[in-house]
Amino acid sequence: MTVELITIRDYEARTREPDRAHPLPKQLDTQETSEMLLHEELSRARIRDFYQESQALRPWRRARAAHRWSRLARWAADRSKRFED
């Protein structure tokens, strides 16, 4: 008795039927994934809102900082004049 060795591809080519067991596609828990994506999207939206609010307040903060630095510069100039003597 002789045995002819053939590959799976050769067997499928001869029989025209794949003899392999096809695994079922992996079932994804889409509810958990969508909840995670929802939380991520909500956090990104919050971050965008905070960024837009900070952009709106930026000119006021710059003006306030300029006023503060001018007061400090005036105080330093007065102090240097006092101790100049």
pTM over 0.75? The answer is: no
Gap between the Cα atoms of 40 and 46, Å rounded: 10
For the segment 20-65, what is each residue's pLDDT rounded down to a tens digit? 666 677 766 556 666 678 889 999 999 999 999 989 989 988 999 9
Q: What is the 3-state secondary structure (H, E, C) of the chain?
A: CCCCCCCHHHHHHHHCCCCCCCCCCCCCCHHHHHHHHHHHHHHHHHHHHHHHHHHHHHHHHHHHHHHHHHHHHHHHHHHHHHCCC
**The predicted structure's pLDDT at residue 15:** 77
